[in-house]
Amino acid sequence: MFELSSPGRSAAQLRATGIAPRDLDAMIPSEHRRDDVLETVDLAERDLVGHVTRLSARQYSVDLGAYPLGSCTMKYNPKMADEVAGLAGLAHVHPAADASLTQGWLELLVTLEERLCAITGMAAATLQPAAGAAGELTGLLLMRAYHSARGDARKRVLIPDSAHGTNPASVTLSGYQVTTVPSTERGLVDLEALAARLGDDVAGIMLTNPNTVGLFEEDIETIAELVHGVGGLLYYDGANLNAILGQARPGDMGFDIVHMNLHKTFATPHGGGGPGAGPVAVGESLVDFLPGPRPVRQNDGYAWATPARSIGRVHGWHGNALVLARALAYIETHGAAGLGEVAEHAVLNANWMRRRLAAILPAAYDRPCMHECVVTATALKDATGVRALDVAKSLLDEGFHAPTVYFPLIVDEALMIEPTETESPETLEALAEALERIVARAHSDPESVHAAPQATPVGRVDEARAARTLVATEDMATRAGLR
Amino acid sequence: MFELSSPGRSAAQLRATGIAPRDLDAMIPSEHRRDDVLETVDLAERDLVGHVTRLSARQYSVDLGAYPLGSCTMKYNPKMADEVAGLAGLAHVHPAADASLTQGWLELLVTLEERLCAITGMAAATLQPAAGAAGELTGLLLMRAYHSARGDARKRVLIPDSAHGTNPASVTLSGYQVTTVPSTERGLVDLEALAARLGDDVAGIMLTNPNTVGLFEEDIETIAELVHGVGGLLYYDGANLNAILGQARPGDMGFDIVHMNLHKTFATPHGGGGPGAGPVAVGESLVDFLPGPRPVRQNDGYAWATPARSIGRVHGWHGNALVLARALAYIETHGAAGLGEVAEHAVLNANWMRRRLAAILPAAYDRPCMHECVVTATALKDATGVRALDVAKSLLDEGFHAPTVYFPLIVDEALMIEPTETESPETLEALAEALERIVARAHSDPESVHAAPQATPVGRVDEARAARTLVATEDMATRAGLR
Amino acid sequence: MPTYLPHTAEQDAAMLRFLGLEHMEDLFAHLPAAVRLAGGLPIPEGRSELDVLDEMAVLASRNVAAGLTCFAGVGAYDHDIPPVVRALASRSEFVTAYTPYQPEVAQGVLQALFEYQTLVARLSGLPIANASLYDGAAALVEALNLAASTTGRHGVLISRGVHPHWRAAARTFAAGTGHQFEEAPLVGGVTVWPTGGRDDLAAVVVGYPNYWGFLEDLAAARALADASGALLVVAGDPVAAAVVRSAGSWDADVFVGEGQAFGTALSFGGPYLGMFAVREELVRRLPGRIVGETVDVAGRRAFVTTLRAREQDIRRERATSNVCTNQTLMAVTAAIQLGWLGTAGLREMALRCATGAHELAERVAQVPGVRLASAAPFVREFALHLGRPAGPVLAAMARRGILGGVAARGLEPPGSGGGERDDVLIVTVTERHRDRDLDAYVEALRAAVAS
Amino acid sequence: MPTYLPHTAEQDAAMLRFLGLEHMEDLFAHLPAAVRLAGGLPIPEGRSELDVLDEMAVLASRNVAAGLTCFAGVGAYDHDIPPVVRALASRSEFVTAYTPYQPEVAQGVLQALFEYQTLVARLSGLPIANASLYDGAAALVEALNLAASTTGRHGVLISRGVHPHWRAAARTFAAGTGHQFEEAPLVGGVTVWPTGGRDDLAAVVVGYPNYWGFLEDLAAARALADASGALLVVAGDPVAAAVVRSAGSWDADVFVGEGQAFGTALSFGGPYLGMFAVREELVRRLPGRIVGETVDVAGRRAFVTTLRAREQDIRRERATSNVCTNQTLMAVTAAIQLGWLGTAGLREMALRCATGAHELAERVAQVPGVRLASAAPFVREFALHLGRPAGPVLAAMARRGILGGVAARGLEPPGSGGGERDDVLIVTVTERHRDRDLDAYVEALRAAVAS
Ligand SMILES: Cc1ncc(COP(=O)(O)O)c(C=O)c1O
Ligand SMILES: Cc1ncc(COP(=O)(O)O)c(C=O)c1O
């Protein structure tokens, strides 16, 4: 927007207040006063609109087409939920207003908590964490508080080698150490290796189930037994909860702590990378440690209460409230049966895609997957030199977003495809055909695949240069002579 | 959307009503009942969103950039006005509800009428006409009623040869005959020719002022005298009112009837070709003939009243009410001084552009213009074979909308450029430079200009084929073997 | 004073300098002094957007009707508009575009209009629809002009079952076109047509269902048109069309309708959507714009406005119509809403409207003094005789939170007993009404007629 | 049961067939029977979107606070959000995109974040900002982690003038990181810092203005940090920054702030916007994402997330932070809102907030029993001593339509006379408040404290 800026221009129209103006000098003593004008940017409203609208035209989104970004669950985001979030009675409420003035919000939060507990099979939940990673850290601090309260100073948390990066990062921040558990050739937790790593210094294990290669950890009961056996707790990373909605519940699998990514499972829009919401649900034995204050039913109404042994606040206020409201609207619209159908179709779509692509991009693990499948371009690379990244970039030219690439780390040349349940069979077929075209071109004209994308607003971006010479603001650009 | 349709799919979610279902047969006798299912289209909500969002990405708009479409006044449409139109208290009001239940709307309409009269210098106005052309016909019927009431059966309406096509079309529909008045070489009404065409069978004259070549009819006082002299009335086509807001008023120039295009002058969004609103304001002698019912102040409130000799209704209800509300919001935001500045900058921008382009695309009339300028590509065509249409198409490739071309008809190879006041000097300069590039290319590589546009969602469209083999619906496409 | 101008003071000065001028008023120096406005416009000074928005909200709050449960209809229907339709139809690419004069950058609007035309054609049962007219009344006016130009005649026989505002508008414009109107009376809620043909008629016009909610005998109307060599113009309800026979299946020549029901709010009557469809032979006389499919230079599917030679900007005083700006955004909205409804949703919605209407009709018939105005079949609205003036009844119902319908005159032929009775109420039910809303209606009506 | 699934029954069957399966449950056949949920989820059955929207509207109507004139602040501000900002920030391309992992199709979000980073850098007076964190509290938590990793120490000296919720969150996470907290007390509304350096401190943390509204002596805080070899973390109000000295000008190492004020509604506390800026030397320890400018293969300007080696997906347990999803949409919104305000508008808005606050402070000081809690300078909020518990006063004011502020404890050091007094009210004024709102405030307060 800075390229459109011209001093003296302004879009702002402030209301008439009728309050007599005062001189800044009379209010702020000179030692605190700015002695210059803070220059931001000077646009007319028309140019602001033009600029931002043109930016939006350079951005792919779920609303424009399929977004099979594995692990991220880029499903359709109902517009209805946006209207919920826009309700003045929800949006215009100050978070510090007394509970007597915010009964609607408290009821909404309590209802959501109940639904999330019913869906996961847990006893209670905190809605404060602002995203999945925040939920992880909150969950790990709950784990720590649980052990500490028993005078049990444990040290390690087990994590499969396929885990998402936030898991180990959260473990470090929780003060525990990461012990990695390898996966078997079947893509599941290696039970023997797990057993070998267990001990009474193990605080717990973090798992996603289905895991990040899209497979259900079929030995989950054994895992739970083993970990519980040494006094450890089971943590469920809910990024993949979409796959089992109404089909199975973490609580019934033996998990003690569960975070959910409402922006994935419950379709709140991702916002270009946030906001999300990462509520954490726990079993009975951990309820007392939950962050506070918590919204609770009380007499005829609702109030705030802080659990006896609460770990404390994990958010500046009550969590990403308007995201929570969207998620509740989604849950209420679907209901029990609807959520079950969501999981069914998420799994159906992923398996169909796995099977459909078998000839060109084989699955890393050739067995029924859940809501996503990880395929590998290793053979393609060996035959043509075309890598997973090239396939991804070529898909952009075909009008699709690319799958997640090079994650999980345990699969070579991984393409992680999560179609989600809201893509139609026709769209899946079109995606498959696009991949077929790309693979065919990889054989016939590999250079053209390396040169992709061509039809996008910009071509392949020089990431190395960005990291080498950091230009993170307009002012750095000016200093670097770019303007 | 039909290409995404699949029977059995549905986005619709109707509310639970609690009313017991009934069989259609029990309600509608067989002779009236459909005996088949009316097939429309079967989409999931996600695919509807994808389709419509992708369509929107194939559409240029004011919000994306400059739209210098002469005569159409494609200025910035304030988002505030959209919120006004979205107010539940305005949007959710049934038009047949009793006046006692719609006092807010009546007050709004009465206030708008007052403002429009103040802005044009007229006595009263009807807000019913839904667009400019509807206003024209309404105005001409007022003219007819006025003369008829005096027992004066006149026959002809004078129209300059530069007039917009709606003017003669409206005259025909009003039962009058068109007499064309030629323009002088200066681009103005030829006074002598006008005088020669006057007579007591002339009901009146329709003029825009500034006229469609963007020039102010400087002899307007004389024209008014002449036409009034034979008992005729002066009709003002308000499409160009933007140029004189707060600077001059049709009423003060001698006009008796004035229509306004609120979608032009008062920046209500054009909606891809509508809705508009075309209120008609009149002088004292015509007030009694205005369409009814009209909103009027009465005692402490507002009521509907129909003028004694009203020509009758010209709209199914009260006019394009939500467009009217947007226009009032625009007027109230700007106020007297703000509207004056609008005209100043509209005229400033147009004259700057005229001057800036003089070397490459000379103005058809080399004198100060008002809010738009008509330039001609005749010399360019003679030199290079590149026509106005080619220049227009090339401008699309440069990221701008094209000017109006081949209108008005009296200018050869016309390009009618109306920058509007909301485009910045920087944008004007960019537009001028784009035109310079195109003209340079016309000389160096005319073929490339003929081949434009290349960067648009589709290239030049085969209009002849569309007219030759009409395919106006999906079903015609199927029949024609296109699907 | 707030404006949307991007010019800085320095830029103003520089631009004036470029033009050899000093002051803004120099731009207007060539205007005759006598017409220059002195002292500025006599209107209030500007306020900020947010202040004006507040003022408008105050006005809006004075519209009591907005808060009532709406049983009023007669061409303006309180249907649900789902959030997704609102979100899509308000995309600024549609809202802030103009008429697709440059098809290469207007495929979005053009394709949406093509889809709209397809849907209107299917709803009407006629093969060709245009890209919209101002509203249902305007569509009727254009239909009469089309009929007159096709037949070379001026006579119009119009049922009193056609919306009185549409009839009024048609009469207004007839002052210019010279059409001669004659109204066919109603008996028992449906039109009584003259027997035998007439040689002066350009058009026979009938509502289906009619203004009062009742289904007309279109076979009789068609027979009259045939006997007279006139066109049959059906003013239809496009929602009812999902469950009743289409205009086309009755062999209508022209279908006109009000399309507001599809995604456009009540809006105090506008902007609405004039739907217009015709038999294939009439296409060269079609008023307004029509979008056609074609290809671009590279052979890709493309859309463009076509048969432009009919239009005012080309044919001028001999154009089929003077319409230029139409109601594109409402047409695009209707296509989106119909896309949301789908085949099953549209039918279900019409069915629910009909079910609610029949349920309510049965319940109100129990209210002492109230009776259905006719035994003729109806779909989703019906006329009642209240046995007392409808105005005060509506006022009493409004105090109980209910907009009870539309008071109407002219149901029975003038002179058929008491002239124009003032006790008629037209009641409409939509898919928004729940069982408890019907109960509340009956209660309010009972109280109002008892008081 | 409504869902958003596009699959028809036939397609379901065909897809299952393709997989060699018969029933949907076959897809889950490999799950251990014991973990398969029998009998469905124990939650209510689904309702239509419109029914749910109604239910949510009922809940919303129970939030009385939404209708009050809001004088509450402390990090959550009731600023105007102009329609244009709402319209732009809600464009679905921004709303429904994910993290820009594929920069070639994410230039929209990336450039908007680049612009956001620029604006945060300018507001903070520090050269480098990240692309957002969850909220102000989260930004503080990350700042402490950064300080600890930079200094290799764990001590945190934090002013009691920092938002108590932020302090609480920092303490919660310290259970994992092992940071040692010490709070510096307030006297007269501003922090009293210990004299002399300390060798255990990673960070000195101060609010500017502080939670109570008062402007702190940042020179003293900086001196302490310097003497201790600690980082100075300033928790600043980015609106006040338009009129007071920037964190950078006080030589802060890290700026953290809550950015909700720029275009995000009160939203009951979230989603908000954690702003984070640092000195250039600290960039490799920055938490979260940062967007950098670069070029594409054709040399065109392009943007991309950069310095990714710091992040969790690459560095895993040794990442600078675990943050992944952040608050991009709020950051984009803030950039748009700041674009709307512009240089002059931002300054004017801050000035109006300050003017209103000073006006109100003078007026309430006339109310018997009420006095300003400190003579320290303030910008747009200030603490009052009411001479009686604040809770009941707020309740009484609410009945008069006014959310009178935030009742707060801990203004004076514990044990400094009566422990934590309960008569403190923090009052905030924004540019939305008109003269008559201030009058209404004073009247409501007068009545409340008199009763
Ligand atoms: C498996 C897994 N775990 C955790 C996360 C982190 O969630 P969030 O981005 O909401 O912080 C993600 C997000 O991509 C994920 O895919
Ligand atoms: C000079 C002139 N007159 C009349 C009209 C017709 O106005 P509308 O399109 O609103 O019917 C136009 C519209 O382009 C015009 O430019």
- The answer to whether the CB of B257 falls within 8 A of the CB of B282 is yes
Residues of C in contact with B16 (CB under 8 A): 434
CA distances from C137 to C13, C50, C143, C167, D146 (A): 50, 36, 10, 8, 70
% chain B with pLDDT above 90 = 98
H or E stretch at A234:
strand A233-238
pLDDT per position as a tens digit, A240-279: 999 999 999 999 999 999 999 999 999 999 999 999 999 9
Q: Which residue has 């009376």 as its token pair? A: C185
Q: How far is the CA of B267 from the centre of ligand 2 (A)?
A: 14
The preferred substitution site among B75, B261, B374 for testing ligand 2, maximizing ligand atoms within 8 Å of CB, is: B261
Is pLDDT above 50 for D17? yes
Contact A76 B422 (CB under 8 A): no
Going from the N-terminus, what domains does chain D have, and what CATH number goes with each? 65-78+343-450 (3.90.1150.10), 83-337 (3.40.640.10)
Chains that touch B (3 or more CB pairs under 8 A): A, C, D
Residue C372 dihedral angles phi and psi, to the nearest 5°: -65, 135
- The answer to whether the CB of A281 falls within 8 A of the CB of A116 is yes
- The answer to whether the CB of D390 falls within 8 A of the CB of D425 is yes
Nearest CA in chain C to A44: C6
pLDDT per position as a tens digit, D366-391: 999 999 999 999 999 999 999 999 99
Residue C436 dihedral angles phi and psi, to the nearest 5°: -70, -25
Contact B45 A423 (CB under 8 A): no
Average pLDDT over residues A131-138: 98
CA angle D250, D252, D253 (to 5 degrees): 160
3-class DSSP state of A351: helix
Average pLDDT over residues B354-374: 97
pLDDT per position as a tens digit, B117-161: 999 999 999 999 999 999 999 999 999 999 999 999 999 999 999
Rounded to a whole number, what is the distance in Å from the CA of A86 to chain D's nearest CA?
9
Nearest CA in chain D to C340: D4
Residue C120 dihedral angles phi and psi, to the nearest 5°: -65, -40
Q: Which two tokens stand for residue A146?
A: 């649980």
Is pLDDT above 90 for D11? yes
Partners of A159 in beta bridges: A180
Residues of A in contact with B53 (CB under 8 A): 61, 63-64
Residue B182 dihedral angles phi and psi, to the nearest 5°: -70, 160
In a 13 Å sphere around the CA of A250, the CA atoms on its Cβ side amount to 33
| Cβ neighbourhood burial of A297 (10 Å; 0-12, 13-18, 19+) | middle
Contact A14 C48 (CB under 8 A): yes
% chain A with pLDDT above 70 = 100
Partners of C291 in beta bridges: C305
What is the pLDDT of chain A when averaged over all its residues? 97
pLDDT per position as a tens digit, A76-127: 999 999 999 999 999 999 999 999 999 999 999 999 999 999 999 999 999 9
C49-61 vs B321-356: helix axis angle to the nearest 10?
160
pLDDT per position as a tens digit, B309-352: 999 999 999 999 999 999 999 999 999 999 999 999 999 999 99
How far, in Å, CA of A207 to CA of A237, rounded? 6
Taking the mean position of all CA atoms in its chain, how far away is CA B4?
34
- The answer to whether the CB of A16 falls within 8 A of the CB of A48 is no
- Give yes or no for residue B164 CB within 6 A of ligand 2: yes
- Name which CATH class applies to A79-334: alpha beta
How far, in Å, CA of D26 to CA of A348, rounded? 10
Which ranges of A232-370 does DSSP label H, i.e. alpha helix? 250-253, 262-265, 321-356
pLDDT per position as a tens digit, C292-330: 999 999 999 999 999 988 888 888 888 889 999 999 999
The preferred substitution site among A72, A166, A257, A410 for testing ligand 1, maximizing ligand atoms within 8 Å of CB, is: A166
Residues of D in contact with A410 (CB under 8 A): none
Contact A79 C9 (CB under 8 A): no
- The answer to whether the CB of A343 falls within 8 A of the CB of A246 is yes
Q: Which residue has 């400087």 as its token pair? A: B218
Residues of B in contact with A422 (CB under 8 A): 44, 46
- Name which CATH class applies to B343-456: alpha beta
Which ranges of C130-197 does DSSP label H, i.e. alpha helix? 136-151, 164-177
Nearest CA in chain C to A42: C6
pLDDT of C411 reads 74
- Candidate from B8, B78, B83 with C-beta closest to D10: B8
| Cβ neighbourhood burial of A185 (10 Å; 0-12, 13-18, 19+) | exposed
| CATH 3.90.1150.10 placement within chain B | 343-456
Instruction: Answer yes or no: is the ipTM higher than 0.90.
Output: yes
pLDDT of C236 reads 96
| Cβ neighbourhood burial of B23 (10 Å; 0-12, 13-18, 19+) | exposed
What is the pLDDT of chain C when averaged over all its residues? 95
Q: Name the residue type at position A144.
A: R
**What is the dihedral angle through the alpha carbons of A382, A383, A389, A393, rounded to the nearest 10 degrees?**
180
H or E stretch at D257:
strand D254-258
Question: Is the whole-model pTM more than 0.95?
Answer: yes
How many C-beta neighbours within 10 Å does residue A307 have?
Answer: 18
pLDDT band, very low/low/confident/very high, at C418 (cuts 50, 70, 90): very low
How far, in Å, CA of C41 to CA of B248, rounded? 9
C92 touches chain B (CB under 8 A): yes
In a 13 Å sphere around the CA of D36, the CA atoms on its Cβ side amount to 11
Which residues 4-43 in chain C show a CB within 8 A of chain A? Answer: 4-11
Partners of A373 in beta bridges: A417
| CATH 3.40.640.10 placement within chain B | 79-334
Taking the mean position of all CA atoms in its chain, how far away is CA D355?
24
Task: Classify each residue of A408-438 as buried b or exposed e, where b means 16 or more C-beta atoms within 10 Å of its C-beta.
Answer: bebbebbbbbbbbbbbbbebbebbbebbeeb
pLDDT of C192 reads 94
Is pLDDT above 90 for C422? no
pLDDT of D418 reads 44
Residues of A in contact with C11 (CB under 8 A): 6
H or E stretch at D340:
helix D328-364
pLDDT band, very low/low/confident/very high, at D134 (cuts 50, 70, 90): very high
Torsion sign across C-alpha atoms A166, A172, A175, A178? positive
How far, in Å, CA of D210 to CA of D136, rounded? 13
How many C-beta neighbours within 10 Å does residue D396 have?
Answer: 18
pLDDT per position as a tens digit, B80-92: 999 999 999 999 9
3-class DSSP state of B284: helix
Q: Which two tokens stand for residue A147?
A: 């052990």
Rounded to a whole number, what is the distance in Å from the CA of B48 to chain A's nearest CA?
9
Is pLDDT above 60 for D2? no
How far, in Å, CA of C94 to CA of C97, rounded? 6
pLDDT of A405 reads 96
